[in-house]
Amino acid sequence: MAPAAGARKHNIKEALLFLAALGFMMALPMWLPNRFYIRLVNEIMIYGLLAMSLDVLLGYTGLLSFMHTSYLGIGAYITGLFLMHVAPGSLWLAILVAVAATMLVAWPVGWVQVRTGGLPFALLTLAFGMMYFTVAWKWYSLTGGDDGLMGMPRPDITFFGLTLASSGDSHAMYYFTLIVVAVCLLLTWRVIHSPLGAVLEAIRENEERAAFIGYDVRRYKLLGWMIACGLAAVSGSLFILYKGYVGPATMDAFAGAAVLMMVLLGGMGSLWGPFVGAAIFIFMQDYISTMTENWEIFVGAVVILLVLFMPKGVAGLGGLLSRGQKA
Amino acid sequence: MSPILSTSELSRHFGGVAALNLVSVAIEDKQVRSIIGPNGAGKTTLINAITGRLPVTSGTVTYLGQDITSWPIHDRVKRGLCRTFQITSVFKGLTAFENVRIARQAHKGGSLRLFASRGSLKQVTEDTWAILERVGLTDKALAPCSSLAHGDQRVLEVAIALAGGPRVLMLDEPAAGMSPTETDQVAKLISDLGREMAVVLVEHDMEMVMSISDRITVLHQGGIIAEGTPAEISDNEQVKDAYLGSEKWAPLVALD
Ligand SMILES: Nc1ncnc2c1ncn2[C@@H]1O[C@H](COP(=O)(O)OP(=O)(O)OP(=O)(O)O)[C@@H](O)[C@H]1O
Ligand SMILES: [Mg+2]
């Protein structure tokens, strides 16, 4: 039938773009001058994943979270604590535990949040985010307080019993991050295009109507929230593995705003947009901070300009281009 | 035959105003029941109270033998209490097809399939096309619904409600703003639907109401002032008084 055929053509195009991007990212380290840039791109992929998970919430479900980095932070702390105190060598298990535990924390919070909507929902994310931040900052004996969680062991990257490399190696960590992020992207793509994705889309379009065709709106919002927090936890695991360290600043309000900016820069409602947004933001931050200590002022100014003149972000530009071609 | 849906002394106040005052109606299955009355009579408020959009101040709603007065909206819909809105409420950013498909998916299930494609719900897709065909939107199915003409959006509302597998279908002014041709088509559709399910119709177009209703209930200032067949209602003096001074008076007289 007509929509199926159109969708298939679209899917093939998306699959080719995805493979091209993956190939490019695989080859990228060859062209990067040194380890510093490899680590920078690694960080972009991690924040891209976080921004994408926020976009699932914002662009597909219509829920605004001011402090999505909280869940990156929680995922990172749990991964670190698990590797330090439970099983120093179990990389995959640490990630699984981090995702499960983060979702366990996110569930009651989401349960409360979905009972509100719009601005109250967003304010609640801020309130819970401040509480998490304070716990990470003040619970010195567990989290290391202001100094952050230090002394995490560097587990080996293994695949079905095969030891590939140490996660302390920048190249190995780059490829590990790339593969985990690519798998998350594929899974998210699948969910967005699933019957569940259709329900989330309907709720974003018209919440009341969604209830009047028989959906328990809160239940589905909670599901969207849980998916977004689970993905954020994965980015948290990757974050601490890449940095070897996590501190409370990772989950402060500044960091929360930064992820939102990445989503806005890249453009909402596409899965690749947030990655582009993360790239722009992190490159800009890195470049400007080599010139001045007050880099936040300049990053802020650039973000303001971009938001004013490209309100739909980079993904919006893509939409303009393809519309131009058709006309 | 016992009614499929009934209200008992249903009231809804807004501040000091009683938008609905002790309304008791009984809706029979497989009939078209029209609710008429001047602007502000409480027709929409009655539908809102029955479908759960508004909590009631007092009274009960009984549906399929159960007291549903304080049920959540989605539970009522799942048991076949479906409605449309006076002010068009559709999923604007989606196509007409996806509007109906998502409603059919709610009815048929499969919404928790995270890793399947939407097209994998074959029955849902098939039913969606059948519903679009029935209301005459097949040709416009793949257009974003914000680009549909007003009349087509009104019809899409009905299609979305139909996708919910209604046992009781409540339509709030489905023909509002439609051209005469469109009105005739939607009247025919509603009349047909009235043989398959209970239809509750709120409508200002008196010609349509008089021609397709099995029974009519007249609301005025939140209370029922008359109920009967179209012939009984057009002869009722109290109804004529209630409509006095309203532009809706003319067509009612014209029918005599
Ligand atoms: N949400 C609300 N808040 C306050 N007053 C309301 C609300 N909804 C309805 N009313 C009042 O209740 C009364 C009944 O309104 P309702 O919308 O049910 O009338 P109606 O019969 O549907 O009229 P119309 O033919 O204009 O659609 C009106 O006086 C209206 O102003
Ligand atoms: Mg009304």
Answer whether residue A286 is part of any domain: no
What local confidence, expressed as pLDDT, does residue A254 receive?
81
Q: Which of A3, A205, A215 sits opposite B93 (nearest CB)?
A: A205
Share of chain A above pLDDT 90, in %: 35
- Is the confidence metric ipTM above 0.95 for this complex? no
Mutate to test the pocket of ligand 1, among B12, B13, B14 (most ligand atoms within 8 A of CB): B14
Kindly give the number of the ligand 1 atom that is closest to the alpha carbon of B42: 18
Answer whether residue A321 is part of any domain: no
Residue nearest to atom 24 of ligand 1 (CA): B39
Is A212–B83 a contact, with Cβ atoms under 8 angstroms apart? yes
Q: Which of B74, B91, B121 sits opposite A206 (nearest CB)?
A: B91
Does the pLDDT value for residue B255 go beyond 60? Answer: no
Q: Which of A6, A190, A195 sits opposite B111 (nearest CB)?
A: A195
What local confidence, expressed as pLDDT, does residue B190 receive?
96
Q: Nearest-CA distance from B235 to chain A in Å?
A: 37
Which among B216, B78, B181 is positioned nearest to A212, based on CA atoms? B78
Answer whether residue A192 is part of any domain: yes
Kindly give the number of the ligand 1 atom that is closest to the alpha carbon of B41: 21
What local confidence, expressed as pLDDT, does residue A63 receive?
82
Report the range of poorest mean pLDDT among A166-175, A218-227, B159-168, B199-208. A166-175
Q: Nearest-CA distance from A41 to chain B in Å?
A: 30
What local confidence, expressed as pLDDT, does residue A4 receive?
58
What distances in angstroms separate CA A79 from CA A134, A234, A294, one per listed residue? 19, 9, 32
Answer whether residue A219 is part of any domain: yes
The answer to whether B93 contacts chain A (CB < 8 Å) is: yes
CA atoms within 13 A on the CB side of A308: 6
pLDDT tens digits along B3-18: 999 999 999 999 888 9
Tell me which chain B residues have a C-beta less than 8 angstroms from the C-beta of A199: 102, 105-106, 111
Dist. CA B87 → ligand 2 center (Å):
9
Q: Which of B90, B91, B115 sits opposite A194 (nearest CB)?
A: B115
DSSP B173: S
Share of chain B above pLDDT 70, in %: 94
What is the extent of the structural domain holding A134? 46-252
Q: Which secondary-structure segment (H or E) carries A165? A: strand A162-166
B86 Cβ inside 6 Å of ligand 1? yes
Longest dimension (CA), chain B: 63
What local confidence, expressed as pLDDT, does residue A5 receive?
64
Dist. CA B43 → ligand 2 center (Å):
5
Give the pLDDT band of residue B254 (cuts 50, 70, 90).
very low
Answer whether residue A282 is part of any domain: no
pLDDT tens digits along B228-243: 999 888 888 777 777 7
Q: Nearest-CA distance from A209 to chain B in Å?
A: 6
Mutate to test the pocket of ligand 1, among B35, B44, B225 (most ligand atoms within 8 A of CB): B44
Tell me which chain B residues have a C-beta less than 8 angstroms from the C-beta of A4: 119
Fold of B1-80+166-256: Rossmann fold (3.40.50)
Cβ-Cβ pairs closer than 8 A, A with B, add up to 100
Does the pLDDT value for residue B252 go beyond 60? Answer: no
Model-level pTM? 0.88
Answer whether residue A200 is part of any domain: yes
Neighbours of B92 (CB within 10 A): 16
CB B26 within 8 A of CB B6: yes
Total domains in chain A come to 1
Q: Which ligand is nearest to the CA of B37?
A: 1
What local confidence, expressed as pLDDT, does residue A77 receive?
93
Does the pLDDT value for residue A326 go beyond 60? Answer: no
The per-residue pLDDT of chain A, averaged, comes to 84
First to last CA, chain B: 32
> Partners of B81 in the beta sheet?
B168
The CA distance from A325 to B51, in Å, is 47
Helix, strand, or coil (residue A54): helix
Does the pLDDT value for residue B85 go beyond 50? Answer: yes
Angle at A124 between CA A122 and CA A127, to 5 degrees: 120
Residue of A nearest to B110 (CA): A195
Answer whether residue A303 is part of any domain: no
Kindly give the number of the ligand 1 atom that is closest to the alpha carbon of B173: 27
Does the pLDDT value for residue A133 go beyond 50? Answer: yes
Does the pLDDT value for residue B209 go beyond 90? Answer: yes
Strand order in the sheet with B215-220: B81-83, B168-172, B198-202, B32-36, B215-220, B223-228
Mutate to test the interface with A, among B73, B82, B86, B156 (most CBs of A within 10 A): B73
Q: What's the rounded mean pLDDT across residues A158-174?
A: 77
Angle at B130 between CA B126 and CA B134, to 5 degrees: 170
The per-residue pLDDT of chain B, averaged, comes to 90
Kindly give the number of the ligand 1 atom that is closest to the alpha carbon of B48: 18
What local confidence, expressed as pLDDT, does residue B246 receive?
55
Mutate to test the interface with A, among B117, B133, B160 (most CBs of A within 10 A): B117
Domain boundaries, chain B: 1-80+166-256, 89-165
Does the pLDDT value for residue A319 go beyond 80? Answer: no
Residue nearest to atom 5 of ligand 1 (CA): B14
Answer whether residue A36 is part of any domain: no
